[in-house]
Amino acid sequence: MNFQQEKGVVRVLYAALDGAEADRIGGVLAESMEPDALWRGFHPFGELTGPEAVAERFWQPLRRALSRLQRREDIFFAGRNEIDGFAGVWVVSMGHLMGLFDQPWLGIAPTGKMVFLRYCEFNRIEGGRIAETAMFFDIPHLMMQTGLNPFPPQTAAHLVQPGPQTHDGLLHDDASEAESRATLAAINAMIGDLGTWQSGLPLEEELALTWADDMIWWGPAGIGATYTIERYAKQHSAPFRAAFTDRSKTRHLARLAEGHYGGFFGWPNFTARHTGGFMGMPGSDKPGEMRVIDIYRREGDKLAENWIFIDLLHFWKTQGVDILERTTGIAGA
């Protein structure tokens, strides 16, 4: 397992991107991205094609809004994608983009204060260039830092989330193949247990099969973060399962691991019908799409930490509720 070339592509891009003026970002991206690279971003961005579109729609407005932007990376790893038979190589970065919120962004009024935009990015590297990207970011989390309340009170804690407890998430050097296989196996076991919601075990016993008792679930704004199996079951998992039915099978576009870290994303990961009560919202007859990134840290043979990015703005829009417009008052924000 040698991912130095692929990791290097992303690290060179980040160094150039993070130091570039807004009007140079298109050219910086073009040096690393294929002209027809597919970029997937949370609502309201969706799918974009090519570096210029990504620069104009996402990066330039963000950089103008958040001055003195700084990348605070907590996790960085690479791996071969189990979903395509371990053919493709993806590089994963997770952390926060921090800046001074000096100009409006997506209709959100600036505060002049520090804000943190949670992000996680998967980049597929092919021939020394970026061929495909999933860039997920927690917009409601940023909104809540400015004093807005896009959702009813959440069941778990709203926090600016730290990186791994072990402070070893930046895998610039390649990790052990045996450790990587063990992490992917733990993630797959969890998917097998939790992906159907039909294990037949009491919820906390089911969770204990693959999770450490002192697990931490770093959930998105609107749901929140929760600690220990008992509180995770009470503050997220049980309410979530109770509020949904007709859950589709899990579908991922990429699933990989390196060392003690791993994760996946889908577009969407699954669909389900909301019967009512989740996040204090009414039910619907329409199935909704869950676009999700999950990043995991394994400890021993159990999963110890999990960082989750869910495109809740997209999910609720599929249910007929435009959270961004409702909160900012700006149509098409």
Helices 4-19 and 25-32, axial angle in degrees (round to 10): 170
Mean pLDDT for all residues in the chain: 95
pLDDT, one tens digit per residue, over 273-319 is 999 988 988 899 899 999 999 999 999 999 999 999 999 999 999 99
pLDDT in tens, 93-134: 999 999 999 999 999 999 999 999 999 999 999 999 999 999
Q: What is the 3-state secondary structure (H, E, C) of 106-159?
A: CCECCCCCEEEEEEEEEEEEECCEEEEEEEEECHHHHHHHCCCCCCCCCCCECC
Mean pLDDT over residues 52-81, rounded? 98
What are the tokens at 158? Answer: 């709203």
Domains defined for the chain, CATH in brackets: 4-145 (3.10.450.50), 177-328 (3.10.450.50)
pLDDT per position as a tens digit, 127-138: 999 999 999 999
